[in-house]
Structure 1
Amino acid sequence: MTRTKEDFKPLVDNQVSMYVCGPTVYNYIHIGNARSIIAFDTIRRYFEYRGYNVKFVSNFTDVDDKMINSARDQGITMPELAERYINAFKEDVRAVNVEPATLNPRATENIPEIIDFITVLIEKGYAYEAQGDVYYRARKFKKYGALSHQNINELEQGASQHVDDEETARKEDPIDFALWKATKGNEIAWDSPWGSGRPGWHIECSVMSTKYLGDTFDIHGGGEDLQFPHHENEIAQSEAKTGQTFARYWMHNGFVTVGDENEKMSKSLGNFVTVHDLVKEINPQVLRFLMSTTQYRRPIQYTQNSLQDAKNNLEKVQNAFINLNYRLKDAKGEPDYDTARKADNLEKDFVQAMDDDFNAQNGIAVVYEFARLINVYSEKDAVNAEQIKRLAKMYSKMASIFGIDLKQEENDDVEIDQLVKRRDQARADRDFETSDQLRDQLNQMGVILEDTPQGTRWRKSNE
């Protein structure tokens, strides 16, 4: 709202109430949609890292023009379509390690509340009925345009994004937007005081956010394309009804762009890649890493090079953790207080970076520094078991904010173990021809070997 960084002060101490606009479930989500989902999951995780209890609500829009058309094209009912893509959504976000929302309300489960909400707006003079439709009087709300920093007199007709000539004729003012839409033909519909119909898009989020988080809540988030008209309309509806500030902080993530022209990824432009397809081709954690390590307001350019960079950097983070834990088997030394002090300082640097408007780029840079620190420690002649555990805990907590689940590899493949031991023996016997043959065989099996002072380690490639 202010276009400046603000100190975060929650309504309730140590608690965060947070609403993020969810998908319209008529198709698989593309990676542009995933950007918003991952960005706000990263933000949520950081709040939790800092000790906040987060109530995170993200809706499903399961009644909409696009859904009606898609269901008709596929020869199924709209509820069947919604169930199919809600299940697909949950599968896709689980693949990129997004924490489940506290609540995922659906528009169709809140129709009585939507009707009640609209009724109050009509009673207060902010809305009017016209031939079975109900519209919101945008000019009556004096703050309209404040979020998107637009003057209402300069706004173009079509603020609702769903305008036709017949609809314009029913409105008192072209800038007014629909709260309720009268039934057309054989569409799904509910009974209301204004006749059979269904809710408009904007009213759904006003109802669900205030129902589950209260008339005023801490944070409202979504993609930057939702500032106008969607979030502008949510504010107008909600504050006209309650007389209270709707959301105290507004956060909008940047777009994912593709190609040399940095064109925004969208279904309407046909330049999208679905998460459903992509996670079948690449390690889903690579996509998560790419999305979560860019500060949420910045755009992300999606290219094969950016994916490869994310893959390489993710492996560095993961391997440092594996290197550290590998030393537990021979950890008999005393604690290294210099390493402990450096780790504590890096933890402070991490908090400082992420406290600055969730600056993920600076935050992950600290994680890279931590990786270097534990790699150096892992190569020391003598290490301490308790110190390893403490470093691993600090490191994994930082990494988890970016959706990176670190774990010690459990290499329990007997065949590979035997081949590695045979190679070790061949090297000890200075039979380098056999040693090289065994290495080549292991490489063909997707096994990466690492010769360390503590012996040969192996891991399976992520390819």
Structure 2
Amino acid sequence: MTLRLTNTLTRRTEVFQPLVPGEVSIYCCGVTVYDLCHLGHARSYIVWDVLRRYLIWQQYRVTFVQNFTDIDDKILRRAAAEGRSMEEVSESNIQAFREDMKALNILPPDQSPRATQCLDGIRSMIAELEAAGAAYSADGDVYFAVMGRPDYGKLSGRSLSEQQEGASGRLHSDEESRKRHPFDFALWKGVKPGEPSFPSPWGQGRPGWHIECSAMVRQELGTTIDIHLGGSDLIFPHHENEIAQSEAANGEPLARYWLHNGMVNVDGEKMSKSLGNFTTIRALLASGISAMTLRLFVLQAHYRKPLDFSRDALDAAATGWQGLNEALGLGLSTTFTAALGWANVAASAQPAPGHDVGLEPSREAFVGALDDDLNTSAALAVLFDLARPLRALARRLERGSEASGEDRALQGRWQLLTELSGVLGLELELSSSSPSETSAGPDPAQIQALISERLAARQEKRYPDADAIRDRLRSDGIELIDRPDGSTEWIHRPQSGGPPRG
């Protein structure tokens, strides 16, 4: 069996062959850190986490790089609105991102470069492009000359002639009028009043969005990588521009395989802040949805297709996860394993987990599913099939039934289920805390008083005091969720590992 992936660049499903046998270099477009992560980010990063886990499971040495865009118009606008610095906004959202990814059991990247920490590489690449005639400066700005790249549009399928026709009448602003062509894009932006800036051969300013990723790919992974990942909304113009500028500077292909995940729809409509159906990861988890339910929900759809989000769909995923969770918990219950004699079996010389002859078809079906362009839906079907008798056994044992010889022989099935679930990043979630533990919850009145004190500190721009209150609450297991309307909600995450309540 051989891994096959749908390559956006060629519009074909191709056999994956890395540049270096046994090694895989991956660059995943990260977030612009001006706000909390939303369901769309969860969908994208869960899927790419499975790809990475699967490659590692197949014995590849994987280098996974995911960047942070920590200077951008959106960050600057948020900083101005909140009376904070660009660095403060970026740092707080980077920390929130890491917490959200950890909550979703997403492996941290091997490297997490930031745009502001790659300025030398950015300036160097821009200078190379200008020297090669692929870029030009204009009043402190530097633009990439798209018309110099006849293959521009090869990723998105948009031809230059089509773009020329669609660009008529666009040269209306001062910035646009400095361009030679409407669809040339900024590599360096000259300084504007009140904005942070950095020195460059073209004057004070800051990098454009697209050049950041090209420079960070080259800095961390070299001129050509195996796989470039992102959402389908990045195909044009971001990834198209990455290809143009990287290949003009390096003279080599940027990436051999381009993979893009589909967008998220909420109750049949595209998720959008303007539509009011925008949902953050933290809000979802705060509403009582477990992290593993969210992972399973995402993986039920093929990564390239739209993901339809609704309460009914989430409830169905929760039911499915409950069954898998029960099966996974069977082998970790000392009561059940003692009744089954699994502890003695595990201590004896046995075949490697999941390699019972009778289970090989399940393993092969799982591998075949993920080899088929990461068909996580079919892979989940294998897990449900493995879990079915284990879940039934757990329920019989709960009712006090005696274990039979056939039941004792199910350990290999449980081991394989655990192994394959781990490839999808699905791990056992502990049950709720005992009644005695849940009765001693936090004091809502005290928490609300601290929230009010923090709000006052923020309004008076005493941000260290506000952060200290947040840290104090977090140390007690209280996570604050700041809403766009200025209100703050909270969630209690017990230190025992039980589910959140608030």
TM-score range, shorter chain: 0.7 to 0.9
Corresponding position of 2:273: 267
Q: 1:94 to 1:269 in 2, by over 3 A?
A: same
Secondary structure of the 1:155 match is helix
Corresponding position of 1:355: 371
Alpha-carbon distance in structure 2 between the residues aligned to 1:404 and 1:371: 13
Structure 1: give runs of 5+ residues left out of the alignment.
Answer: 417-459
Shift in Å, 1:412: 9.7
Q: 1:308 to 1:146 in 2, by over 3 A?
A: same
Matched, 1:183 2:175: no
Matched, 1:280 2:286: yes
Shift in Å, 1:287: 1.4
Given the alignment, which residue of 320, 324, 328 partners 1:317?
A: 324
Q: Do the aligned partners of 2:26 and 2:65 also contact (CA within 8 Å) in 1?
A: yes
Shift in Å, 1:268: 4.9
The CA RMSD measured in Å over matched residues stands at 2.8
Corresponding position of 1:455: none
Secondary structure of the 2:14 match is coil
Alpha-carbon distance in structure 1 between the residues aligned to 2:273 and 2:261: 18
Alpha-carbon distance in structure 1 between the residues aligned to 2:26 and 2:205: 30
Q: Which is greater in Rg? A: 1
Corresponding position of 1:329: 338
Q: Which amino acid aligns with 2:285?
A: V
Task: For 1:205-224, list aligned pairs within 5 A.
Answer: 205-224=213-232
Alpha-carbon distance in structure 1 between the residues aligned to 2:425 and 2:120: 37
Task: For 1:345-424, list aligned pairs within 5 A.
Answer: 345-375=361-391, 381-382=404-405, 388-406=410-428
What do the CA deviations read for 1:125-149 (whole angstroms, capped 9, x no partner)? 0000000000000111121000001
Q: Do the aligned partners of 1:26 and 1:81 also contact (CA within 8 Å) in 2?
A: yes
Corresponding position of 1:235: 243
Matched, 1:96 2:104: yes
Corresponding position of 2:45: 37
Q: Which amino acid aligns with 1:359?
A: N
Q: Do the aligned partners of 1:128 and 1:135 also contact (CA within 8 Å) in 2?
A: yes
Secondary structure of the 2:405 match is coil
Secondary structure of the 1:103 match is coil
What do the CA deviations read for 1:89-143 (whole angstroms, capped 9, x no partner)? 1111111111101111100001111001100000000000000000000111121
Q: Which amino acid aligns with 1:371?
A: A
Q: 1:97 to 1:412 in 2, by over 3 A?
A: closer
Q: 1:413 to 1:81 in 2, by over 3 A?
A: closer
Corresponding position of 1:341: 357
Shift in Å, 1:8: 0.2
Q: 1:12 to 1:163 in 2, by over 3 A?
A: farther
Q: Which amino acid aligns with 1:244?
A: E
Alpha-carbon distance in structure 1 between the residues aligned to 2:106 and 2:274: 26
Q: Which amino acid aligns with 2:294?
A: L
Alpha-carbon distance in structure 2 between the residues aligned to 1:397 and 1:163: 57
* TM-score normalised by L of structure 1: 0.83
Structure 2: give runs of 5+ residues left out of the alignment.
Answer: 1-8, 397-402, 438-497
What do the CA deviations read for 1:56-114 (whole angstroms, capped 9, x no partner)? 11100000011111100100000000001001111111111111011111000011110
Given the alignment, which residue of 66, 86, 90 partners 1:82?
A: 90
Alpha-carbon distance in structure 1 between the residues aligned to 2:292 and 2:157: 37
Alpha-carbon distance in structure 2 between the residues aligned to 1:303 and 1:137: 44
- The total of aligned residue pairs comes to 414
Corresponding position of 2:490: none
Matched, 1:254 2:262: yes
Q: 1:48 to 1:140 in 2, by over 3 A?
A: same
What do the CA deviations read for 1:277-320 (whole angstroms, capped 9, x no partner)? 21111222211221133221111111001110110001111112
Alpha-carbon distance in structure 2 between the residues aligned to 1:342 and 1:372: 16
Q: 1:156 to 1:296 in 2, by over 3 A?
A: farther
Counting aligned pairs with the same residue, the percent is: 40
Shift in Å, 1:156: 5.9
Q: Do the aligned partners of 1:32 and 1:266 also contact (CA within 8 Å) in 2?
A: no
Q: Which amino acid aligns with 1:183?
A: V
Secondary structure of the 2:373 match is coil
Matched, 1:300 2:307: yes
What do the CA deviations read for 1:376-419 (whole angstroms, capped 9, x no partner)? 6766512586x555433321121123221137x69996979xxx
Secondary structure of the 2:203 match is coil
Corresponding position of 1:437: none
Secondary structure of the 2:12 match is coil
Secondary structure of the 1:5 match is strand
Matched, 1:20 2:43: no
Q: Do the aligned partners of 1:353 and 1:363 also contact (CA within 8 Å) in 2?
A: yes
Given the alignment, which residue of 200, 206, 211 partners 1:198?
A: 206
Q: 1:211 to 1:358 in 2, by over 3 A?
A: same
Q: 1:164 to 1:300 in 2, by over 3 A?
A: farther
Alpha-carbon distance in structure 1 between the residues aligned to 2:417 and 2:100: 26
Q: Do the aligned partners of 1:205 and 1:234 also contact (CA within 8 Å) in 2?
A: yes
